[in-house]
């Protein structure tokens, strides 16, 4: 466990059983996939304002990378509770960044989504906004991030996942995402944001 401004609460690996997510497997010929076409069928619970994204690969390096990211909020406007489940991501990664962005699409991300009057950019691996994978590239965990924005404001923003750095200082640059999804309110399909 690691404690920083955004802290990892729990690391647990996805089992060898098939994922409950219905996210389609991406192939290099279909990349990039910008918007999922339907809501996931796995049970999502949370506050009425919570949002989720189905994650799709954006790169041939990890063509089968899939998963979900669900955002909820602690009571009284506290930290975002980010629950994620990812498969076929970079293996054995301890510094793979996750972030929420404004943008036109998953391949046209704009600014990191946070209130600069409330907080310094929390969407960095150093601040704890990261996913941690096992040797197979699978991950499931919950992290807390405070970005100063209301939960409802996250709808139609993009959640992007990044590769490990491995000496590449540009690996976590905004438009180098390896997977992405659009955040939609629980119970809605991606067409909500179109």
Run of H or E including 179: strand 179-182
> Can you give the pLDDT at residue 16?
35
- CA 87 to chain centroid, in Å, comes to 12
> Can you give the pLDDT at residue 7?
33
Q: How many CB atoms lie within 10 A of CB 157?
A: 23
Is the pLDDT confidence value at 26 over 50? Answer: no
Q: Judge contact between 5 and 122, C-beta under 8 A.
A: yes
Q: Extract the tokens encoding 3.
A: 């404690």
The pTM is what? 0.77
Long-range CB contacts for residues 35-38, cutoff 8 Å, separation at least 24: 35/105, 35/182, 35/190, 35/191, 35/193, 35/194, 36/181, 36/182, 36/189, 36/190, 37/189, 37/190, 38/189, 38/190
- The tens digit of pLDDT for each residue in 110-157 reads 999 999 999 999 999 989 999 999 999 999 999 999 999 999 999 999
Q: How many CB atoms lie within 10 A of CB 99?
A: 27
- The tens digit of pLDDT for each residue in 10-21 reads 333 333 333 333
Mean pLDDT of the chain: 80
Q: Judge contact between 158 and 101, C-beta under 8 A.
A: yes
Q: How confident is the model at residue 175 (pLDDT cuts 50, 70, 90)?
A: confident
Is the pLDDT confidence value at 9 over 90? Answer: no
- For 13-163, strand residue ranges (E) read 51-57, 66-73, 80-87, 96-105, 108-112, 130-131, 139-145, 158-161
Q: Extract the tokens encoding 176.
A: 């180098």
Question: Could you tell me which of 103, 163, 94, 101 has the C-alpha nearest to residue 133?
Answer: 94
């Amino acid at each position: 466990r690691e404690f920083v401004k955004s802290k990892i609460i729990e690391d647990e690996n996805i089992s060898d059983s098939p994922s409950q997510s219905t996210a389609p497997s991406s192939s290099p010929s279909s990349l990039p996939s910008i918007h999922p076409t339907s809501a996931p069928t796995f049970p999502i619970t949370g506050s009425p304002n919570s949002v989720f994204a189905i994650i799709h690969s954006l790169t041939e390096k990890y063509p089968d990378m899939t998963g979900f990211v669900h955002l909820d909020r602690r009571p009284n406007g506290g930290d975002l509770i980010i629950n994620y489940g990812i498969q076929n991501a970079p293996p054995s990664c301890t510094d793979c960044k996750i972030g929420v962005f404004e943008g036109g699409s998953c391949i046209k991300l704009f600014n990191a989504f946070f209130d600069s009057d409330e907080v310094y950019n929390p969407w960095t691996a150093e601040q704890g906004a990261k996913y941690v994978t096992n040797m197979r590239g699978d991950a499931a965990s919950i992290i807390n991030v405070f970005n100063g924005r209301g939960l409802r404001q996250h709808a139609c923003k993009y959640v992007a996942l990044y590769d490990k750095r491995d000496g590449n200082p540009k690996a976590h640059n905004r438009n180098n995402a390896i997977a992405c999804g659009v955040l939609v309110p629980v119970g809605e399909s991606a067409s909500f944001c179109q």
